[in-house]
Chain A
Amino acid sequence: MPPREGIYGLLAEFNTPGELVRATEEAHQAGYRRMECYTPYPVEEAAVALRFHKTRVPLVCLLGGLLGGTTAFLMETWISVWSYPLNIAGRPLFSWPAFIIPAYEWTILFAGLSAAYGMLALNGLPQLYHPLFNAPNFRDGASTDKFFLCLEAADPRFSIIESRAFLERFAPVSVVEVEL
């Protein structure tokens, strides 16, 4: 793999979530789209400012549940009717009431697992490397008491000079270039 060159983006550090949200909102108005907020705890307004809306986790969860329920039900049907038919108290081989509970359990199991793993997968996790950790202040502050806005270089609106000037209008603690 050739060495990666250039920068990932510009990282602005703020002391309060309010400043972060304001900067994010204005960045959105200025036309930036490839950007991300990093906060030590969930800041709902930052998500609003990012226009972060929907994820596909619910869909993955639903599909997982349907898959689990169907699999269990069909498997029980196959076992009881074709693979190993047993006469249990003279009931029909296809005794669907008895199949419901395992099918239900599998629905929950598959839905739960697909929600958890689907969330990880859609988040791109596990991720062994992320350029942001090249910024020392990010390493120290992102999970304790600092609020970060990163304008990514992939954004067409991004310019190393103008974007820096734009971010500095919000009086951040610092604006650093993040290397790839």
Chain B
Amino acid sequence: MSSAHEQHGEHGAQGHHGPQADHGPRALPASLNAPDVLLAWRRRALLVAAAFALLTLLFTSTHEGRNHIMRAYLMGYMTVFNFAGGALVLLMLQYVTGGKWGLLLRRPLEAMTRTLPLVALMVVPILVPFLGKHLYQWVLYPDAASTHNAYLNHLINQEQELTANFKRPMLNPHALVVESCIIFAVLLLFMVLLNRWSIERDADPASGTEPSYDRWRTRFENLSGPGILVYVILLTLGAIVWIKSLDVTWYSSIWGLQFLVAQGYAVLALSILSVILLSRYEPMKTLLRTTEQHDLGKLAFAFVMLNIYLCFAEFLIIWSGNIPDELPWYLNRIRGGWWYVCSLDFICHWLIPFCLLLSRDLKRNKRKMIWLTCFMIFARLVDMFWLIEPNFSDSAANLHIAGNIGMLAYITVPATVLALWSAYYMTQLMSRPLVCTNDPHLEEILEPEHAF
């Protein structure tokens, strides 16, 4: 294949007219900085955040609103954690796999990882027992005595009491703080190293030479390989402590992996969206070829498949096992109107993206991919709603808006959190050139595009 590329390059240089006349290697744009339009986008994101924050304030006046704000906040927090953490693992993944698909995503992914300090700040409300008690039973009843008392008062059942006592070393207000600190400390360390090296790599005096490529490639690979392993372990911990422990009795060994794949799904959607939107302006206009967009679309398709595969595998195993310990988790998510949300989740999360991404033309079409990736991000939110809300005993009676206007906090709070996060993401995006220059793949993406 490489000989074929050389041949093509040669012909472009000979200046034949014909189809490849406008297919010669393109020049790297003079400025690689993010376009100024990001300032306008960021202003818009902040306005959206402010508007939704005001709406949320209205809901605090209602009982259900107060009830739902923390849950909705958890949903928003988990979504942005998925973006920041998922970006970190996808960044490390593209360092270990190599390939030109990752080169374009590298700077947007780095910008997403640099939002980790903000995400770490956002976890604080969840850690405070004063607010966390609205979410976690084991924060509300932090010791054996109060748990037993709750059982005697029929606030929790015996199984919940026994499980909560058994899991106490992992699930208690102090452990929550320690676990969250460990997760963020390690993730921030990886984030700082990857981001610092990326800048140093471009500033390397030997930049553009074979030894420089090799040295940096090895260095990134050596960090990223173990990094992915560490990340998966920490993510599993986070997913269990922040989300799964909302229901103390349930367990599933595929939980962490499911979150990992869901992060890949969301981050890929967001990064495709980012590069396509940025490609309206230089320098991304020159850098993003239809070939790479097509490749990224195919990768997103793989994640769509993998995601439903894991979700269905978990469901099938629990359905086959038919054990009273595990079933209620699904029953709570199917009964009492939740069947509609469950179906909606399946349709939005898998059916629609799957059918659309089958099409080659759609993957190569910028406008349609913008819509689809936005839809995929929306589908992640539906899924998160389906995961979080049914954990609470009042959820079955909650699935309506009439007389329950506070339920809309599930829209306004995550929207606020997401908009705030996006504004910060754009700030980070503006702080660096949009493409790494000291990488052999840069030459490849400037090569003429093959239409077929």
Interface size on A, residues (CB 8 A): 24
Q: Is the CB of A48 within 8 A of B451?
A: yes
What chain A residues lie within 8 Å of B320 (beta carbons)? 97-98
Q: Is the CB of B322 within 8 A of A21?
A: no
A31 interface residue (CB < 8 Å to B): no
Q: Is the CB of A97 within 8 A of B452?
A: no
Within 8 A of B (CB), among A39-94: 41-45, 47-49, 52, 58, 62, 89, 91
Within 8 A of A (CB), among B322-379: 322, 358, 360
B318: nearest residue on chain A (CB-CB)?
A: A97
Query: Given that A44-B452, A97-B315 are contacting pairs, would A18 and B16 also be in contact in the complex, using a CB cutoff of 8 Å?
Result: yes
Q: A45-B23, A52-B452 are in contact. List 4 more A-B contacts (CB 8 A).
A: A21-B11, A45-B11, A45-B20, A47-B452
Q: Is the CB of A49 within 8 A of B319?
A: no
Within 8 A of B (CB), among A140-166: none
Shortest distance in angstroms between A144's beta carbon and chain B's nearest beta carbon?
A: 13
Q: Is the CB of B7 within 8 A of A25?
A: no
What chain B residues lie within 8 Å of A48 (beta carbons)? 19-20, 451-452
Shortest distance in angstroms between A87's beta carbon and chain B's nearest beta carbon?
A: 14
Chain A residues within 8 Å of B, Cβ to Cβ? 16-18, 21-22, 25-26, 41-45, 47-49, 52, 58, 62, 89, 91, 97-98, 100-101
What chain A residues lie within 8 Å of B452 (beta carbons)? 44, 47-48, 52
Query: Given that A45-B8, A58-B360, A98-B320 are contacting pairs, would A21 and B315 also be in contact in the complex, using a CB cutoff of 8 Å?
Result: no
Question: Within the assembled complex, what's the spacing in Å between the Cα atoms of A13 and B312?
Answer: 56
Q: Can you list, as one digit per residue, whether each of B7-43 has a CB less than 8 Å from chain A (1) or not (0)?
A: 1101100101111100100000000000000000000
- The number of A-B residue pairs with CB atoms under 8 Å apart is 59
Q: Is the CB of A18 within 8 A of B450?
A: no
Q: Can you list, as one digit per residue, whether each of B67-98 has a CB less than 8 Å from chain A (1) or not (0)?
A: 00000000000000000000000000000000
Q: Is the CB of B315 within 8 A of A18?
A: no
Q: Is the CB of B316 within 8 A of A45?
A: no
Question: Within the assembled complex, what's the spacing in Å between the Cα atoms of A91 and B322?
Answer: 10
Shortest distance in angstroms between A115's beta carbon and chain B's nearest beta carbon?
A: 13
B4 interface residue (CB < 8 Å to A): yes
Shortest distance in angstroms between B18's beta carbon and chain A's nearest beta carbon?
A: 4
User: Shortest 6 CB-CB distances between A and B: which pairs?
Assistant: A18-B11, A44-B450, A25-B18, A48-B19, A47-B452, A45-B20
Q: Is the CB of A21 within 8 A of B16?
A: yes
Q: Is the CB of B319 within 8 A of A97?
A: yes
What chain B residues lie within 8 Å of A25 (beta carbons)? 18-19
What chain B residues lie within 8 Å of A45 (beta carbons)? 8, 11, 18-20, 23, 450
